[in-house]
Amino acid sequence: MMTMLGGEPFLLVSKQEQQNYPLYIRSVPSDSELKFHYTVHTSLDVVEEKVSAVGKVIVDQRELYLGLLYPTEDYKVYGYVTNSKVKFVIVVDSSNTSLRDNEIRSMFRKLHNSFTDVMCNPFYNPGDPIQSKVFDSMVSSMMVQTC
Amino acid sequence: MSPAQWDLPPELCCRPMAFVALTGLDVVYNAVHRAIWDAFCANRRADRVPISFKVLPGDHEYPKCRTKRTSYEWYIPKGILKTGWMNKHLNLVPALVVLFYELDWDEPQWKEKQSECATKVEIVRTSLQGRNTKVAVVLIQKKTPLPPGEDVMASERAAALCNACDLSGKSLFVLPHTDHLVGYIIRLENAFYEHAQTYYYTEIRRVKSHKEFLNKTTHQLLFVRHQFKTAFFSELKQDTQNALKYYRAAYSLIHELRTHETNILEIKTMAGFINYKICRLCFQHNTPLDAIAQFRKHIDLCKKKIGSAELAFEHAAWMSKQFQYFGDLFDEAIKLGLTAIQTQNPGFYYQQAAHYAQERKRLAFQLCGGPEANLGYPAPDPLETPTGILDFYGQRAWRQGHQSIDPPDPEKEKGGILALQGREKEVPHSELIIALLSNAVAQFKKYKCPRMKSRLMVQMGEEYYHTKDYAKALKLLDYVMCDYRTERWWGLLTSILGTALRCSYLMAQVKDYVSYSMELVGRASMLREDQKSRIQKNVAKVLKNEPPEAEPDCDPSAVKAAQALWNERGSQASGEDLILEVQDSVPFVQCKARFLHPSFHLDVPVQLHVFLLTDSPHPVRFSKLCVSLSNQDYNQYCVVDSLGQAPAQEDMCLVPGRTHRYSFRFVARPEDVGKKIEITGVDLMLGSENGRCIFLNWRGGGGDAASSHEALQATRSFKRRGLEPQISVQLHHEPPALNNEMYCMMVTIQSHEDIVARDLKLTAGLKPGQDANLSHTTHVTLDGSKMCDDSHRALLPDIPMGDLQPQEKMEKPLSIRCSTTGPRIFLVHVAYTVDTCIEGRDIVCKCHKDETVTIETVVPFEVAVKFVSTKFEHLEHVFVDVPFLLMTDILSMSPWPLHLVTSELQLAPTMAAVDQPASQVEEVVLQTGESASECFCLTCPPVHHGTTGVASGQYVMSWKRKSANATIPVVNTVITLPHVAVETIPLYVHADLPSFGRVRESLPVKYHIQNRTAIVQEVEMSVEPSDAFMFSGLKQVRLRILPGTEQDMLYNFYPLMAGYQMLPLLNINLLRLPAVSGQLLRRFLPSRIFIKVTFNGPANSGIESGARCWSYPSLILTVSQRRSSKVLRQKMGRTVPLLCPPSPNRLSRR
């Protein structure tokens, strides 16, 4: 699952079990949308590596935020993994200096809360793409903020 | 300028080494010189000092040194670094010139030689005029020199030579041409190295000394140049730490330069050079993080310095090269032992390099026009210089040395830009991009980034597409498509498929074209409906053998070629069948096939359903649907086509969004009973015979990459089952079985079939597949009247039972004998055939019914055997010829009443019965837990001396269960009696006395004392007085008994009291054998006797009437709960004790 936002692409990826297909993708409408998809997809390499490393060392398992996954020339990619191994990825423009680690962290927390609400919906079938107005508007508000 | 203009010059990338020139060596004709030269330069290992040697002729002209500038006041530098400078100091200006000269100390013509040498030195000095280059002389000598100080002539002549040549003593060397050449050479070159170090040190000082003349306004370029030179000399001096320091200083100075359009290229070029050096040294110092930080800083500083907009592609090219070189350095460092990680590896730099290369290509296309655009190359070529090379790095050929803000000549500037654009058009951009991408792919593969790898492969594929190498493009795209499919990133898959579709269209690859089209039309595609509709129409055209419409965004010239290809394909390939494996992609038709049940009975036709659903925008018409099964004979029944049963036309047309169901049914063959039959594939044929046929083939029961497979697996196969048997099999028996008995089991078979069950066959017995030992210890027979033996088998197969009419009942008794205990599983299998008819076909059905039963075998009873004395005292051992008792206890363990038919004691020859032993338990019935006992009086005949234990014999029980009828044979259980220890005694005593006495009536007792030894025994006997008896006889006597004879002692006891009374104790002492105590002998004698009361005076008294010899009864009672021995004892007395009034006391006093 993933989202992207205005100026700052902003993505969320989910995986169910060993699968890494997107539950939700949202990005600022632009020509390079496909490129963002690729960026998010490739960032899963790092997410998977980090998640498997966590399993080995058994660090603080309550820490879901994976931090900056890797820097590219143009974007910064951040990751977050819930305990049920749903992955969130946010991509922001690397020129955007207003978003520090703490802001990103709170964005992830908001996303996670909202995602939990989606999961609580009895009509939502886990693993299906997310189609929720509330979730959409939450993501939109976050994307507007970061613009 | 060549396309490699962006490459770093080789002299920058090499490791600088001190340059030492060797002269006076004739390496071509002189073997000695050749050997010396080889020792210098051949097989240089890493531990040798870093010097690059060169052989030059003695009169070689070294580059001229320009006259020293005394003032920089009016000097305006023309550029930062001259292109020849690095090469000059690496390869042209030596740090040291070494003159080799053959001269021995004892040379007869010393004077002449000395002056010749001096002349040669002078020549070299002259050609080095103005340089600080050192000169050294090496004398090649034939003789091994003496140790220093010993050869007076040598030191004298050496001093003279130094003087003549104006050399310091440190610069004169001797090289004896002997065996240890390499050793001498290594010492020599170490000395050279020291000289070179000094040279470069002075050079650094010299360059630094210029600094004070410079001012910051006009000489900014010189600041950079001087820092760079100091750094480079430091590197030559192998002082990398300082070199790094100077390069860093140079780097910060270069960014202080004022930048404008005319010098930006020069600044970037030099910044790139210095950055390269810094990064290289950082990696060399094993501080990779510093290198990365420096590189990031470099990129950040230079990213925006694009320069002239018309030459923007140059900036992209330069950026690309920066990343590429950094990637190379990084990779190099890894090869030397550095460890990289997933998020920091050379791949990222190559990827970025590729990104800028793509950018360069885009800009080049934008600025220089497409391949058709002809800008007109200016003549004369403004990029040509008179020397063919530039004077300074990073300058324009048409205005070299120009440093002011505005170009000197706008016309020339225009021509120059045009020429550069013209050259850029010839650059093979795609090749560069692909090379960089494949570098990156290799790195990402190494550092566990499969997705990044896939992404770059997509980019490579797209680049190949742009270079019109469609085959390679398709190969790459096809490879990664699977990854995106399995990860279900449909958005990305759609984009890749779009490119792949164009490739396959342009190559007119029918199969690929159709396969990609179907996936793009299918549900995994994110294309808009109108796009899907267009593609589906194209597929329809292909099916009709017409060329499809061109894909949008294709190169028009390529489309033309492709159309021709399609027409050609169309004409030659009519009726061609294309088989597409669609299992692993997501085609526009979804298919699922399943059997209605996981298993079918033989008399029910097999049913299977195929579901088809299309996601395309337009209906799909198919011409055939067939299902393949693992038994191909059934395939003929599972076909839908226009020829066969001719289904309605609408059935052959799939309406989008509606699930179509096709049902098939067939009668399975009887021989497939029990076999598993699977759907191996489903084929859907599109198109027709007169156009093109395309088969979509699903392996197994359908499903594709986008559907979940788990649910399908279950219903993909079915098992053929026989008819449900309509008979009942019942078993009547009374478990558990008793060990060794003929266990009776009644098998009752009743038919509930409506028709006759024919050829009934019964298989009964031990179920196969259990412990192998069980089959040896289990025997089954139909004849229950005889005992089974080992010749009987454990399983009776196929007992013919004939036919069974409906509702008829049949019984068959089975007898089983189990000779070991434990559980066994028995199988009763009834097989028969019935004739039946399904859908008009007569079928002989085989049916069978199995019953299994687990039967436990238990021990029926336990027998305990013990030896006791005639007084029922426990015996450790028996005495020869002394009677004793053998007692057997039979305890029933069977849950069913046990009928003991008889028992028999089979004595061993070492035992003898005292009387005829008859069975005492004959026809006794024992309930569970009850026990019966028998008692036999035996003696042991004399044994050979030394024998301790003797066999007793066997005890045979004959029994059966109470419920068994008379025909069932009796089971004989043999129990081997234990061995018993036997001892002989020297003296045996036994007594004759009546069974009871009466008060005040004489009671004669006779003691027999028997000497069983071979010698005369002296015996001392005494009778102790007793309150209960008076007696007459010898109270104390000593007597001799001859060997083997018996002495009788008669006593007349006169009882005084009634009831059980202790007899007066008889003490016997054997004087010869004190070991045999009276205690032991007393065991053979009765200790008590019952005394009755008399009322009528002493009537019928006397030994004859009242007394009888003590006899040993062999009667036993069967009583429950082991009370037998007590009762037995009472019986032994032959009288029932009565209440006896106490006898008058005075009588006892008489």
Q: Do the beta carbons of residue B575 and residue B657 sit within 8 Å?
A: no
Kindly report the nearest CA distance between residue A79 and chain B, in angstroms: 13
Confidence band (pLDDT; 50, 70, 90) for B372?
low
pLDDT the model gives residue B1115: 37
User: Which residue segments constitute the domains of chain A, with CATH numbers given?
Assistant: 2-136 (3.30.450.70)
Mutation target to probe the B interface, by most B beta carbons within 10 A, among A12, A20, A38 is A38
A 10 A CB-CB count for B786 gives 12
Distance from CA of A41 to the nearest CA of B (A): 7
Mean pLDDT on B389-394: 84
Percent pLDDT > 90 in chain B is: 15
In this complex, do A21 and B449 lie within 8 Å of one another by their Cβ atoms?
Answer: no
User: B947: Cβ–Cβ under 8 A, 6 or more apart, which residues?
Assistant: B982
Cis, bond preceding B897 (omega within 30 deg of 0) = no
Q: Does A41 touch chain B (CB under 8 A)?
A: yes
What pLDDT is attached to residue B709?
A: 52
Token pair in block for residue B314: 């140059």
Instruction: Closest CB to B487: pick one of A20, A49, A70.
Output: A20
Give the length of chain A. 147
Chain B partners within 8 Å of A19 (Cβ): 487-488
What is the least distance, in Å, from the CA of A73 to any CA of chain B?
A: 8
Do B488 and A21 make contact, defined as CB atoms within 8 angstroms? yes
Is any Cβ of chain B less than 8 angstroms from the Cβ of A45?
Answer: yes
Contact call for B491 and A22, based on CB within 8 A = yes
pLDDT class of B1104 with cuts at 50, 70, 90: very low
Asked if omega into B619 is within 30° of 0 (cis), the reply is: no
List Cβ neighbours of A80 (8 Å cut-off, separation of 6 or more): A64, A65, A66, A87, A88, A89, A90, A108, A111, A112
Predicted local distance difference test score (pLDDT) of residue B272: 93
Summarised one tens digit per residue, pLDDT across range B828-876 is: 888 888 877 766 667 777 788 888 888 888 888 888 888 888 888 888 8
Average pLDDT over residues B600-616: 83
**CA B1086/CA B1021 separation, integer angstroms:** 17
pLDDT in tens, B444-473: 999 888 899 999 999 999 999 988 899 999
Residues in Cβ contact with B619 at an 8 Å cutoff, skipping those fewer than 6 apart: B653, B654, B655, B656
Residue A55 or B364, more confident: B364
Whether residue B1139 is predicted with pLDDT greater than 60 in this model: the reply is no
Facing residue for A49 by CB, picked from B342, B487, B489 = B342
pLDDT computed for residue B489 by the predictor: 85
- Among B352, B448, B451, select the one facing A42 at the smallest CB separation: B451
Decide: helix, strand or coil at residue B357: helix
d(CA B754, CA B473): 71
The answer to whether B455 contacts A38, with C-beta atoms less than 8 Å apart, is yes
Which chain A positions have a beta carbon within 8 Å of B299's beta carbon? 73
Task: Flag whether residue A53 sits within 8 Å of chain B, measured between CB atoms.
Answer: no
Say yes or no for a CB contact (<8 Å) between A45 and B455: no
The residue of A48, A73, A94 whose CB has the most chain B CBs within 10 angstroms, and thus the best one to mutate to test that interface, is A73
Confidence of residue B416 (pLDDT cuts 50, 70, 90): confident
Q: Which of B17, B33, B207 is nearest to B94 (CA)?
A: B17
Read off the amino acid at residue B699.
R
Chain B within 8 Å of A84 (Cβ-Cβ)? Answer: no
Q: What average pLDDT does this structure show over B173-177?
A: 85
Average pLDDT over residues B414-425: 85
d(CA A104, CA B847): 72
Pick from A65-74, B88-97, B174-183 the range whose average pLDDT is largest. Answer: B88-97
Check residue B458 and give its pLDDT: 93
The verdict on a CB contact (< 8 Å) between A45 and B355 is no
**How, if at all, do strands B737-738 and B841-858 pair?**
parallel
Q: What is the pLDDT of residue B1147?
A: 36
| B878 neighbors B981 (Cβ within 8 angstroms) | yes
Test B492 with A44 for CB contact under 8 angstroms: no
CB pairs under 8 A between A and B: 50
Provide the mean pLDDT of chain B: 82
Q: Do the beta carbons of residue B964 and residue B970 sit within 8 Å? A: no
Q: Which residue of B has its CA nearest to A95?
A: B300
Write the DSSP symbol of residue B228. H
**Chain B CB within 8 Å of residue A17 CB:** no
CB B81 within 8 A of CB B250: no
Convert the pLDDT of each residue in B652-695 to its tens digit.
888 888 888 888 888 877 777 777 788 888 888 888 777 788 88
Shortest CA gap A114–chain B (Å): 23
Question: B492 and A37: CB-CB below 8 Å?
Answer: yes
**Token digits of residue B81:** 């670094």
pLDDT score recorded for residue A55: 58
Contact status, residue B795 vs residue B765, Cβ threshold 8 Å: yes
> Which stretch of B6-20, B257-271, B430-444, B1074-1088 has the lowest confidence by average pLDDT?
B1074-1088
Name the residue of chain A whose CA is nearest to B485's CA: A21
A147 — contact with chain B (CB < 8 Å)?
A: no
**What residues in A contact B355, CB-CB < 8 Å?**
73
Of A25, A44, A73, Cβ closest to residue B352: A73
Query: Which phi and psi (to 5°) does residue B920 adopt?
Result: -105, 0
Helices (DSSP H) in chain A: which residue ranges? 33-57, 101-120, 133-146
- CA of B448 to nearest chain A CA: how many angstroms apart? 7
**Kind and range of the H or E element at B241?**
helix B240-254
CB contact under 8 A, B487 and A41: yes
**Contact present, B100 and B141 (Cβ < 8 Å):** no
Chain A residues within 8 A of B342 when measuring between CB atoms = 45-46, 49
Contact B342 A45 (CB under 8 A): yes
- Judged by CB atoms closer than 8 Å, whether chains meet at B343 and A19 is answered as no
Check CB contact of A49 with chain B, cutoff 8 Å: yes
Average confidence (pLDDT) over B216-233: 88
Contact A49 B491 (CB under 8 A): no
Decide if B492 and A69 are in contact by the 8 Å CB cutoff: no
Q: Residue B1116: its pLDDT value, please? A: 36
pLDDT of residue A7: 35
pLDDT at B181 over 90: no
* Helix (H) or strand (E) run with residue B507 in it: helix B490-507
Which tokens is A23 given?
């539950």
Query: Which residues in chain B are contacts of A41 at CB distance < 8 A?
Result: 451, 455, 487, 489, 492
Look at residue B487 in the predicted model and tell me its pLDDT.
82
Q: Do B452 and A34 touch (CB under 8 A)?
A: no
By C-alpha distance, the chain B residue nearest A2 is B489
Paired sense of beta strands B912-913 and B931-939, if any = antiparallel
Which of B344, B355, B447, B449 would best serve as a mutation to test chain A binding (most A beta carbons within 10 A)? B449
Chain B residues inside the 8 Å CB shell of A73: 299, 352, 355
Q: Residue B1131: which H helix or E strand, with range?
A: helix B1124-1132
Return the pLDDT at B719: 62
Minimum CA–CA partner of B355 in chain A: A73
**ipTM for the assembly:** 0.88
Lowest mean pLDDT among B282-291, B560-569, B642-651: B642-651
Angle at B866 between CA B865 and CA B870, to 5 degrees: 135
Q: What is the band of B1141 on the pLDDT scale with cuts at 50, 70, 90?
A: very low
Between A52-61, A63-72, B240-249, B608-617, the lowest mean confidence (pLDDT) is in: A52-61
Strands B18-23, B51-55: pairing kind: parallel
Closest CA–CA distance from residue A65 to any residue of chain B (Å): 17
Calpha distance B853→B848 (Å, rounded): 17
Predicted confidence (pLDDT) at residue B756 exceeds the cutoff of 90: no
Distance CA B507, CA B519 (A): 19
Distance from CA of A25 to the nearest CA of B (A): 10
